[in-house]
Amino acid sequence: MKAIQVQDDQQLVLADVERPELKPGEVLVKVKAVGVNRADLLQAAGHYPPPPGTSEVLGLECAGVIEDAGDTDREQGEKVACLLAGGAYAEYVAVPQGQLMPIPEGYSFEEAASVVEVACTVWSNLGMLAGLEPGQTLLIHGGAGGIGTFAIQLAKHLGLTVAVTAGSKEKLQACKELGADVLINYKEEDFAEVLKNKCDRILDIIGAKYLDQNVKALAKDGHMVIIGMQGGVKGELNIGRLLSKRGTISATALRARDLDDKANIVRSTTEHIWPLLAKGVIRHHIHQTLPLEQAQRAHQMLQDGEVTGKLVLSV
Amino acid sequence: MKAIQVQDDQQLVLADVERPELKPGEVLVKVKAVGVNRADLLQAAGHYPPPPGTSEVLGLECAGVIEDAGDTDREQGEKVACLLAGGAYAEYVAVPQGQLMPIPEGYSFEEAASVVEVACTVWSNLGMLAGLEPGQTLLIHGGAGGIGTFAIQLAKHLGLTVAVTAGSKEKLQACKELGADVLINYKEEDFAEVLKNKCDRILDIIGAKYLDQNVKALAKDGHMVIIGMQGGVKGELNIGRLLSKRGTISATALRARDLDDKANIVRSTTEHIWPLLAKGVIRHHIHQTLPLEQAQRAHQMLQDGEVTGKLVLSV
Closest approach of chain B CAs to the CA of A297, in angstroms? 30
Is B127 domain-assigned? no
Q: Do B226 and A242 touch (CB under 8 A)?
A: yes
Residue in B128, B229, B243 to test binding to A, most A beta-carbons within 10 Å:
B243
CB atoms < 10 A from the CB of A266, how many? 24
Predicted confidence at residue B305, as pLDDT, reads 78
Q: Do B248 and A249 touch (CB under 8 A)?
A: yes
What type of residue is A59? Answer: G
Predicted confidence at residue A162, as pLDDT, reads 98
Residue B233 parent element (H or E): none
Q: Are B61 and B30 in contact (CB under 8 A)?
A: no
B142 phi-psi bin (left φ>0, alpha ψ -120 to 50, beta other): left
The phi, psi pair for B83, rounded to 5°, reads -95, 125
Judge if B280 and B224 occupy the same domain: no
Tell whether the model's pLDDT for residue B309 goes beyond 90. no
Residue B212 parent element (H or E): helix B208-217
Is B96 domain-assigned? yes
Q: Strands (DSSP E) along B104-149, which ranges?
A: 137-141
Residues of A in contact with B234 (CB under 8 A): 236-240
Interface of A with B in 62-101 (CB under 8 A): none
Distance of CA A215 to the CA centre of its chain: 24
Instruction: Give me the mean pLDDT over the B182-190 stretch.
Output: 97
Predicted confidence at residue B256, as pLDDT, reads 86
Give B280-290 pLDDT, tens digit per residue: 999 999 999 99
Closest approach of chain A CAs to the CA of B240, in angstroms? 5
Tell whether the model's pLDDT for residue B307 goes beyond 90. no
Judge if B22 and B76 occupy the same domain: yes
Judge if B56 and B23 occupy the same domain: yes
Mean pLDDT (chain B, rounded): 96
Coil vs helix vs strand at B201: strand
Contacts of residue B281, defined as CB under 8 A and 6 or more positions apart, other chains included, come to B153, B157
Identify the closest residue of chain A to B51 by CA–CA distance. Answer: A244
Q: Are A99 and A105 in contact (CB under 8 A)?
A: no
Give B74-100 pLDDT, tens digit per residue: 999 999 999 999 999 999 999 999 999
Predicted confidence at residue A256, as pLDDT, reads 86
Q: Are B36 and B67 in contact (CB under 8 A)?
A: no
Expressed in angstroms, the distance from the first to the final Cα of chain B is 12
Please name the member of B207, B242, B253 whose beta carbon is closest to the beta carbon of A246: B253
Residues of A in contact with B251 (CB under 8 A): 239, 242-243, 246-247
Q: Are B40 and B298 in contact (CB under 8 A)?
A: no
In our burial notation (b when 16+ CB lie closer than 10 A, e otherwise), range A119-143 reads bbbbbbbbbebbebeeebbbbbbbb
Judge if B214 and B160 occupy the same domain: yes
Report the candidate in A100, A97, A58, A95 with the shortest Cα–Cα distance to residue A79: A100
Is B126 domain-assigned? no
Predicted confidence at residue A48, as pLDDT, reads 87
Q: Do B236 and A234 touch (CB under 8 A)?
A: yes
Is B303 domain-assigned? yes
| Measured distance CA(A292)–CA(A32) in Å, rounded | 10
Q: Are B77 and B68 in contact (CB under 8 A)?
A: no
Residues of B in contact with A206 (CB under 8 A): none
Is B276 domain-assigned? yes
Coil vs helix vs strand at B254: coil
Tell whether the model's pLDDT for residue B306 goes beyond 90. no
Q: Are B186 and B167 in contact (CB under 8 A)?
A: yes
3-state per-residue secondary structure call for chain A: CEEEEECCCCCEEEEECCCCCCCCCEEEEEEEEEECCHHHHHHHCCCCCCCCCCCCCCCCEEEEEEEECCCCCCCCCCEEEEECCCCCCECEEEEEHHHEECCCCCCCHHHHHCCHHHHHHHHHHHHHHHCCCCCCEEEEECCCCHHHHHHHHHHHHCCCEEEEEECCHHHHHHHHHCCCCEEEECCCCCHHHHCCCCEEEEEECCCHHHHHHHHHHEEEEEEEEECCCCCCCEEEEEHHHHHHCCCEEEECCCCCCCHHHHHHHHHHHHHHCHHHHHCCCCCCCEEEEEEHHHHHHHHHHHHHCCCCCEEEEEC
A252 touches chain B (CB under 8 A): yes
| Measured distance CA(A298)–CA(A302) in Å, rounded | 6
Give B225-272 pLDDT, tens digit per residue: 999 999 999 999 999 999 999 999 999 999 889 999 999 999 999 999
For residue A107, give the CATH number of its domain: 3.90.180.10
What does each of the 315 residues of chain A score in pLDDT, given as a tens digit?
A: 999 999 999 999 999 999 999 999 999 999 999 999 999 999 999 988 898 889 999 999 999 999 999 999 999 999 999 999 999 999 999 999 999 999 999 999 999 999 999 999 999 999 999 999 999 999 999 999 899 999 999 999 999 999 999 999 999 999 999 999 999 999 999 999 999 999 999 999 999 999 999 999 999 999 999 999 999 999 999 999 999 999 999 999 998 899 999 999 999 999 999 999 999 999 999 999 999 999 999 999 999 977 778 999 999
**Which residue among A219, A251, A283 closes a domain?**
A251
Identify the closest residue of chain B to A246 by CA–CA distance. Answer: B252
Judge if B190 and B263 occupy the same domain: no
Judge if A130 and A247 occupy the same domain: yes
Instruction: Give me the mean pLDDT over the B61-73 stretch.
Output: 98
Q: How many domains does chain A have?
A: 2
- pLDDT category of residue B122 using cuts at 50, 70 and 90: very high
Q: What ipTM describes this predicted complex?
A: 0.92
Judge if A15 and A77 occupy the same domain: yes
Predicted confidence at residue A305, as pLDDT, reads 78
Closest approach of chain B CAs to the CA of A16, in angstroms? 34
Is B123 domain-assigned? no
For residue A142, give the CATH number of its domain: 3.40.50.720
| Measured distance CA(A119)–CA(A315) in Å, rounded | 22
Predicted confidence at residue A202, as pLDDT, reads 98
A207 touches chain B (CB under 8 A): yes
**Which residue among B251, B276, B301 closes a domain?**
B251
Instruction: Give me the mean pLDDT over the B49-61 stretch.
Output: 93
B229 touches chain A (CB under 8 A): yes
Is B124 domain-assigned? no
| Beta pairing, strands B199-204 & B182-185 | unpaired
Judge if A147 and A229 occupy the same domain: yes
Q: Are A173 and A152 in contact (CB under 8 A)?
A: no
Report the candidate in B107, B114, B102 with the shortest Cα–Cα distance to residue B34: B114
Judge if A160 and A209 occupy the same domain: yes
B244 touches chain A (CB under 8 A): yes
Judge if A90 and A131 occupy the same domain: no
Is B235 domain-assigned? yes
**Which residue among B210, B228, B251 closes a domain?**
B251
What type of residue is B164? Answer: V
Q: Are B104 and B283 in contact (CB under 8 A)?
A: no
Q: Do A246 and B252 touch (CB under 8 A)?
A: yes
Judge if B155 and B112 occupy the same domain: no
In our burial notation (b when 16+ CB lie closer than 10 A, e otherwise), range B164-191 reads bbbeeeebbebbbebebbbbbebeeeeb
Residues of A in contact with B253 (CB under 8 A): 243-244, 246
| Beta pairing, strands A61-68 & A79-83 | antiparallel
Expressed in angstroms, the distance from the first to the final Cα of chain A is 12
Judge if B34 and B105 occupy the same domain: yes
The boundaries of the domain holding residue A180 are 120-251
Residue in B215, B246, B258 to test binding to A, most A beta-carbons within 10 Å:
B246
Q: Do A236 and B238 touch (CB under 8 A)?
A: no
